Structure 1
Amino acid sequence: MNKLDDRDIRVALRKMVSTYKDAKVFDEYTTYSGKSRADLVAINGHVNAFEIKSDYDSLSRLENQVKEYDLNFERNCIVAGEKYIEKVSKVVPDHWGIILARRNRESRVSLNYKRVATLNPNLDFVSFAGLLESSKFRKIVLDDNFYEKSGLERGEVNSMFKYDLIAYLDSTLSQYQKSILKKVIRAKLKEE
């Protein structure tokens, strides 16, 4: 077996996700809690996170990474070399995508989907909204009148801590309003 390291896989993955329609690609994207960092994130119609497990990695943190990714990102996918492909498929939930990375005959890294990611049913609104920096989040809430929809005054928005503001909106906005706000957040994240 020809072992693959993180860099080999990352280069091939970046090339693949760069072909996604209207995608903006980020390396080493930190979750809201700061407990995990996605190896690659591609933002287009959704925030898609990718965790790489090369043949030289360990799976010791994978369960915690799965929990963090599920709180923060709309679609999640693990990319693994042949050494770990069977093990990771037993750890990641069914809504996660699984991509096998291996060298082809020309010694290039090929990526093949074993399972395509579906929308994450465990996405946490607070964590997702928290991905956006504080000033940009407040600007959205004020400019798009989300503060009025939640019963806040303009001045209250500026005096609240970011987490408290997000938590308040989470508890007062309807699911529909939150889906609109997530769409605006996604667009702002793409601009960063």
Structure 2
Amino acid sequence: MLYDKDIREPLFDFLDDIYLTNRIIEEKKMGCSRADVVMVTPLAIYGIEIKSDADTYARLKRQVRDYDNFYDYNYVVVGTSHAYHIQEHVPDYWGIITVEQKKQ
């Protein structure tokens, strides 16, 4: 089972590899929600919601609305337990990043 704390550092490494020049802000209040991660690049501001295997979708509808109001682009980052159903809970224009534990 992947928890939020297990996802963050590998996610930041991945984003650094993809976006090269960026700044990361964690736990940023926006509207009635809190963005897990805000990534600022020279061209856009990205909101990133992390749904670990321990999370539910209970607040996601409100979070999607707030993210859409505040950021140019949005991603949801999910653990394995959400990988097959997350597309039913976020708009088509959101990016989806799936995370799995590496088998030892």
Q: CA RMSD in A?
A: 1.2
TM-score (norm 2): 0.91
Letter in 1 for 2:35: A
Instruction: Identify the residue that residue 38 of structure 2 maps to in structure 1.
Output: 41
Q: Secondary structure at the match of 2:12?
A: helix
Instruction: Identify the residue that residue 73 of structure 1 maps to in structure 2.
Output: 71
Are 1:28 and 2:27 an aligned pair? yes
Deviations along 1:56-85, one digit per CA (max 9) or x if unpaired, are: 111100111001100110010001111112
Distance 2:83 2:6 in 1: 16
Distance 2:11 2:45 in 1: 16
Q: Indicate the structure with greater strand content.
A: 2
Of 85, 90, 93, 1:92 maps to 90
Q: Secondary structure at the match of 2:99?
A: strand
Of 49, 53, 56, 1:55 maps to 53
The unaligned stretches of length 5 or more in structure 2 are: none
Deviations along 1:161-183, one digit per CA (max 9) or x if unpaired, are: xxxxxxxxxxxxxxxxxxxxxxx
Shift, 1:105, TM fit: 2.8
Q: Secondary structure at the match of 1:56?
A: coil
Runs of 4+ with >6 A deviation? none
Shift, 1:86, TM fit: 2.1
Shift, 1:49, TM fit: 1.1
Q: Indicate the structure with greater helix content.
A: 1
Which range is displaced more, 79-88 or 51-60?
79-88
The unaligned stretches of length 5 or more in structure 1 are: 107-192
* Higher relative contact order, structure no. (Cα contacts within 8 Å, ≥ 6 residues apart): 2
Instruction: Identify the residue that residue 102 of structure 1 maps to in structure 2.
Output: 100
How many equivalent residue pairs? Answer: 102
Instruction: Identify the residue that residue 4 of structure 1 maps to in structure 2.
Output: 2
Greater Rg over alpha carbons, structure: 1
Shift, 1:23, TM fit: 0.5
Letter in 1 for 2:82: Y
Distance 1:81 1:24 in 2: 23
Instruction: Identify the residue that residue 113 of structure 1 maps to in structure 2.
Output: none
